[in-house]
Structure 1
Amino acid sequence: MITFDSQIGLYVSANKLQMVEVNYTGREYLLENVDEAYFDEQLDLVNDKESKSIALLQAAFNEMLIRKPLRTKRAAVSLPAETFYIQQFPYDNTLIEEDIIAQFKWELGVLYPNLPIDDLVIDHFRIEKNLLLNYNNAIVVAFPRKCLKVIQNFCKKNSLYFRFADYSHFASDKNLELISGDFNNGWYISVLITGNSLSLEVLLDGKPVFIKLFKEIEAQDIVRQINIIINKSGLNIKRDIFKGMIVWGDEVSNQTLSQLEDQLRIKCLRINPFAGLSTSKALAISKYLRDRSYGFAPAAGIAYRLF
């Protein structure tokens, strides 16, 4: 089993703050707390003033602390799709790292000419050519440095040791490492549906090798866009190679899952992010574990992160 220190995972969306706490008891890793609290008004980390963002986060956090104090001070945070700019670029592996980063910044500047590139936190991970894409490429992830500062200052205010922030879809996929099954072998599609956004990944052995983010999409267009990507985006594999499609999202119902399965003709799965951990006795009766577990994937996944 994956080993890690006690930690809380926070997921910040536009309308609420979710928290998952995992603690090491000396013998096992125990799911200690699962909770959420809604903001008094919509949160926009990108455009709101820092003081407003922290005030909204603090009020929601205090509400959860009143119900159950924390047992750890280590925190990791997952952020929503609307915060990120995510693209996939080919790169020349003969270039030095500095030149590759410069290339990615230039590419982002071309795609987003009104975006101050130097004000972004930019990270990337490289993908060697494979059956899907027959050239070396990298998934480039960027988000405003302002958002990171808000999270850092919020954690500092609450004496939390802030470890890292990550994209909510990547955080959700981390749950697969704790779940029994075949998810880390072969080809899967992973989608995260939240609000008006759709994030789609192709996973190979549990790692993303392709990603596409739609920040604004109508519900009736979700199936069409998934079909376009699978069938017409230049991917070099046939759809029958996929073992299934993992569907993350707070508002994804069983009916939605059945509709996706019928229209896409692919097995669709929802994953309970808490299925791989023991649960404290006090938490066993939690309504979130009983009725809403699927919606906590970003908070749970970021809590399970090793680094």
Structure 2
Amino acid sequence: MFKNHAGINLTETKLQLIEISFKDDSFYLENVDQTIHAENFSSTFPESKLISILQYSFDKIIKKKPLEAQSVSFSLPNNFFRIFEVPYDDALVKKDLHEHFRWEISTLFPDSDHNNFYIQHIEIDKSKVRHEKSAIVFAVDKSLVAAINKFCTQNFLVLKYIDNAHLASNAFLNLNGKKNQDEISLSVYIDHKYSSISVMDGASPFYFRVLDSTSQKIFEELTTAVNKLNEFNLTLGDFNKILLYGQDLTDDFENKLKDFFGTGLGIVNPFDQLKTDDVILNNPLYRLKFNSFTAATGIAIRIV
């Protein structure tokens, strides 16, 4: 039986919260809210400071509407991860494979303690587009995960998942299940610091590139990322879907992205398939900022 589940998208500047329930044979959006942190959140802060900032923002939201969910999952931005693609030997068992990835972390990010990361990897040869033995690696600091877990314990919450915000948002590529299994899709996640582009074969990502959102030449970076697809014999015209997720997109920037990708660019509304009440229907975040809640909603529906 489905019980209420909350999704939190945690960024350097704010906390976004979604709560989903199941009643009357339908999934309901019970809450959508966000608040700005008292000070910028950095994954390198000591545990006590991480929890203090997180608690302050969380309290501001639940004072307006208490959380009914007992389980919660978090999505985190690209700059809270070490993300890279490397070849791997498929003869290695999982433990040895992760040791190989840790060695890569020590080489690519020499200022980081390679032993202090939880590692998730995606094998790109699971797709029918790329067949080389390479993996996209997402590594998150164990200290950050420990702080989030301690925060949950202190608030009598059970932590279910922690994932990358773009990967969490990609849930909206696959809500139709089998219908999308053979589709080649592209998604763009726009964030304040490090945006990203992801290419999927059904539910399997086979390309992921982080972009520098602060660059004055972000469209040059997008062009470089898209040109890389030529190596896989793909062009923008080959995609069944091109979806956009993002944080506080301006109309001007959104129009520039539409011009870049063409008319096929879809702006995702993560609330489309969720019922809700009149209070939330009139919430400006629900009506005007829906696209910025793809990560929080995507991680909230992870157990649906």
Equivalent residue letter for 1:120: F
Contact 1:227–1:264 (8 Å) recurs in 2: no
How far did residue 201 of structure 1 move?
0.8
Q: How does 1:53-202 map to 2 (within 5 A)?
A: 53-128=50-125, 130=127, 132-178=129-175, 185-202=182-199
How far did residue 26 of structure 1 move?
5.0
Contact 2:243–2:266 (8 Å) recurs in 1: yes
Equivalent residue letter for 2:223: N
- Aligned partner of 2:18 among 13, 17, 20: 20
Equivalent residue letter for 1:13: T
Q: Residues 70, 217 of structure 1: CA spacing in aligned structure 2 closer, same or farther, 3 A cutoff?
A: closer
How far did residue 259 of structure 1 move?
1.0
Per-residue deviation, residues 128-160 of structure 1 (Å, max 9, x unmatched): 265543312222110111110110111111111
Tell me the equivalent position of 1:34. Answer: 32
Query: How far apart in 1 are the matches of 2:186 and 2:25?
Result: 35
Q: Does 1:301 align with 2:291?
A: no
How far did residue 68 of structure 1 move?
0.7
Instruction: Tell which deviates more after alignment, 171-180 or 47-56.
Output: 171-180
Instruction: Work out the number of aligned pairs and report it.
Output: 303
Q: Structure 1 residue runs of 4+, over 6 Å off?
A: 179-182
Contact 2:124–2:131 (8 Å) recurs in 1: no
Per-residue deviation, residues 153-183 of structure 1 (Å, max 9, x unmatched): 1111111111121111111111333479976
RMSD, aligned α-carbons: 2.3
Contact 2:168–2:298 (8 Å) recurs in 1: yes
Per-residue deviation, residues 13-53 of structure 1 (Å, max 9, x unmatched): 11111100001225221111001111111111x22222222
Partner-residue secondary structure (3-state), 1:70: coil
Tell me the equivalent position of 1:212. Answer: 209
Query: How far apart in 2 are the matches of 1:99 and 1:266?
Result: 45
Q: TM-score, normalised by structure 1?
A: 0.90
Equivalent residue letter for 2:136: I
Q: TM-score, normalised by structure 2?
A: 0.91
- Aligned partner of 2:9 among 4, 11, 14: 11
Q: Residues 72, 217 of structure 1: CA spacing in aligned structure 2 closer, same or farther, 3 A cutoff?
A: closer
Equivalent residue letter for 1:69: P
Structure 1: tracts of 5 or more residues without a match: none
Equivalent residue letter for 2:33: D
Q: Residues 130, 54 of structure 1: CA spacing in aligned structure 2 closer, same or farther, 3 A cutoff?
A: closer
How far did residue 184 of structure 1 move?
5.3
Query: How far apart in 1 are the matches of 2:5 and 2:158?
Result: 10
Query: How far apart in 1 are the matches of 2:181 and 2:18?
Result: 23
Q: Residues 148, 124 of structure 1: CA spacing in aligned structure 2 closer, same or farther, 3 A cutoff?
A: same
Structure 2: tracts of 5 or more residues without a match: none
